[in-house]
A and B are shown apart, each in its own frame.
Chain A
Amino acid sequence: MAVGHRQGLRLARLVLGLLFAAGCGKPEAVIKIGFAAALTGDQAPQGEDLRDGVELAIQQANAQGEILPGYRLALYALDDQHSPTQAVSVAKKFIADPDVMAVVGHLNSSCTMPASAIYHQARVLQISPVSSNPQISRQGFDTFYRTCATDDLQGPAAALFIVNELKAKRIFVLDDMTTYGRGLSNELIKKLEALGAEVLGHEGITQGDKDFVPILTKIKSLTPDLIYFAGMFPEGALLIKQRKQVGLNSLFMGSDGQFDPVLINLATPQAAEGIYLTAIGSDIRQIPSAQAFVTAYEAKYGAIGAYSAYGYEAANIAIWAIQQAGTKDRTAVLAAMKTLKDYPGIFGLQNFDQRGDSLIRDIGIFAVQNGRFTFIKTASWD
């Protein structure tokens, strides 16, 4: 028995020693921008897109000279594995590092939400590029900002388009039972009903599921004009493909989680032809102020992903705030951020409301034509 806990103590000392060693870093004159997203697992491609955007921004900033006298800018990327628990862990890691002046992240709303409390307590500026759940900015954290439109806008925008442009009256709504999907579908249904459309049903599917033929068969028997799916592209692609299999010919509209070229491949171009999508933002290629970014990004990384531009924008705003602050101090950076007005970003002039939400609230409507995404219009949401 006595031997046992001596062993235990030894082991504990070993573990502690390792942790300590891992914690000690070499001192460098850097200012770090923390970046957190899912870099492994099912959302890894989206996370990588974001990181590429952030990396490009930092690289361009460094090329223009020192961010502050004597300091260069570095990217500190951590993987939150699309797990809220990991997100908290990552957030604590960032705030423990004195070189981190701002954080761009996270990707998923379910991760951004708990992490935001940590950044708030540590008074670290947090800019989320694409987390669209409205509740995050309703917590009253003055450290939280985001560069994307929120789901409570995407839903009504889609509803207006469905009712006014597509003239659909009978709609069946599906979502993937996630924070994002369910929140979005609830907003959509509220607006659809306010507009007088008939919502035939609202059901959830499980992420990772493959077989939607039974639910689609049931939907077919209800003869809807349009099916809306709030979710991500793996399930979206299967729904689009299988609806053709069961002979369901109604219109199909998806949310921004399906706005990825892979969707068309997985669903087969024939089945995907004619479907509509909403996206959080207009087509990046149509915005004149974004062309320089498009060229630079494509030269370095290849095709632009759906989220790359947001990573770039968020990082650039963080860099601007650090420069405005003039010193390596988190409180100063935060104070500088509050003075942001008409920032010339790639989406146009950026401004944020008191909750931290971006005032650029474009929702883009896209359609699949000839096997590719085609921009239809920028939707209005009121």
Chain B
Amino acid sequence: MTGLNRRIAGWSLSALAALALPLVYSNPYHLDVLTSALLYALLALGLNLIVGLTGLLHLGYAAFFAIGAYTYGLLNLHLQCPFWLGLLPAALTAGSAGVCLGATTMRVRGDYLGIVTLGFGEIVRIAFTNLDRWTGGPNGLLGIDHPRLWMPGRGIFDFGVSSAPYYYLVCVATAVAAGVCVRLSRSRVGRAWIAIREDELAAACAGVPVVHLKLLAQGCGAAIAGVAGAIFAAKQGTITPDSFDFVLSVMVLAMVVLGGLGSIRGAVIGALVLGSLPELLRGFEQYRMLLFGVAMIVVMRVRPAGLFGGGRRHARTA
């Protein structure tokens, strides 16, 4: 009982601190950096479902991010769909793409799966660049609406380009996603995913519906990326295909891996640290990717389970 109370108290404190932050500290640039890092955290949570819990190597995650962003963007530009309504289609299209990709790659084993997903990610990006009649091509989509919220006493409030509203939005989104992931990972579904990760054949023999669960994992993970994409599009106002490249996929993967495969906490913290690092190291950005590479090699060598991983044995992924 005490443990549970302490936990609730702890989470409430963190939540209050997070909510109070923009009121005490209103530098829009710093809030923006934090918002971006939290958006990465959202992405990391989604990828963690696929790679961390279920053990499916995915190198094309940015594609789902792109699909979500373009879905909201196109719906908004052509049908004047408001942001809040656009979230669901974004999640659904991305999620469906995840399921389709999962279905086609059901039999592909470990490292080949990585390459196939990489190919998929690149094909999506090139397609968005080349199909300029529908996607705006390399120009991308311009003039996407920012979210508008009706607030009591204030009327319609347009988020515009201020930083604080997006900070709250992403905080809430990440918290919700984290909550969902935690519940999932502790449920039968989560345990089944981990079983698939540890030994797919044994899991199948034990009666785990491997196919359904793999699709579920990829669908959910992709849907989360879709939501993140819609938020990103609404925040930026313009989206271009080159924001959704392989480097982004690898960065999110690095956050999940370094934070600890399967660990929700690890994914969020890994993302917060790695996501805000580029801004903190402004002036050293030439070395950023270099350090990423070194970090990945070193962590794999020294602490293969990541920062918060471990506690569970990690075996073959295929």
Contact = CB atoms under 8 A, between A and B. Distances in A.
Chain A complexes with chain B: yes
Given A88-B236, A96-B27, A182-B137, A177 B130 contact: yes
A18 B7 CA distance: 27
B34 A92 contact: no
Given A20-B25, A179-B139, A182-B139, A5 B237 contact: no
18 contacts: A2-B7, A11-B269, A11-B273, A19-B33, A79-B285, A84-B140, A89-B36, A92-B29, A92-B163, A114-B238, A117-B161, A121-B160, A121-B162, A177-B137, A177-B138, A178-B138, A179-B140, A181-B138
A5 B161 contact: no
Interface string A290-308: 0000000000000000000
Given A92-B29, A93-B29, A110-B240, 13 more contacts: A8-B14, A11-B272, A15-B272, A78-B282, A85-B36, A85-B243, A89-B36, A92-B32, A96-B28, A110-B138, A110-B140, A114-B236, A178-B138
B10 interface: yes
Interface in B138-191: 138-140, 142-143, 160-163
B139 A121 contact: no
A177 B269 contact: no
Interface residues of A, number: 46
Nearest to A110: B240
B236 A85 contact: yes
Given A12-B272, A23-B30, A1 B142 contact: no
A165 B139 CA distance: 32
Contacts of A15: 272-273, 276
Contact of A89 (B33, B265, B268): B33
Contact of B265 (A5, A40, A83): A5
A323 B265 CA distance: 53
A84 B239 CA distance: 8
B280 interface: yes
Contacts of A371: none
A135 interface: yes
Contacts of B238: 84, 113-114
Interface string B267-287: 011001100100110100110
Contacts of A121: 160-162
A349 to B, nearest CB: 32
B265 A8 contact: yes
A63 interface: no
B41 to A, nearest CB: 11
Contacts of A4: 265, 308
B3 A117 contact: no
B316 interface: no
A9 B16 CA distance: 12
B262 to A, nearest CB: 14
A88 B30 CA distance: 12
Given A18-B280, A182-B138, A84 B28 contact: no
A34 to B, nearest CB: 12
Nearest to A114: B238
A40 B139 contact: no
Interface of A: 1-2, 4-6, 8-9, 11-12, 15-16, 18-20, 22-23, 40, 78-79, 81, 83-85, 88-89, 92-93, 95-96, 110, 113-114, 117-118, 121, 133, 135, 139, 177-179, 181-183, 204, 206
A83 B241 CA distance: 11
B107 interface: no
A79 B278 CA distance: 12
A206 B268 CA distance: 35
Interface string B105-146: 000000000000000000000100110100001111011000
Contacts of A22: 280
Top-10 shortest CB links A-B: A96-B29, A93-B29, A92-B29, A121-B161, A179-B139, A178-B138, A114-B238, A92-B32, A5-B10, A118-B161
Nearest to B3: A2
B7 A89 contact: no
Contacts of B236: 84-85, 88, 114
Nearest to B9: A2
A183 B29 CA distance: 32
B127 to A, nearest CB: 12
A114 B272 CA distance: 24
B293 to A, nearest CB: 17
Contacts of A84: 140, 236, 238-240, 243
B30 A19 contact: yes
Contact of B130 (A85, A92, A114, A204): A204
Quick one: which of A19, A40, A88, A183 has the most chain B CB within 10 A? A19
Given A8-B269, A40-B285, A114-B237, A182 B132 contact: yes
B231 to A, nearest CB: 13
Given A1-B3, A2-B7, A89 B32 contact: yes
A85 B32 CA distance: 11
A81 B272 contact: no
B24 to A, nearest CB: 10
Contacts of B139: 110, 133, 179, 182-183
Contacts of B28: 92, 95-96
Nearest to A136: B142
Contacts of A206: 126
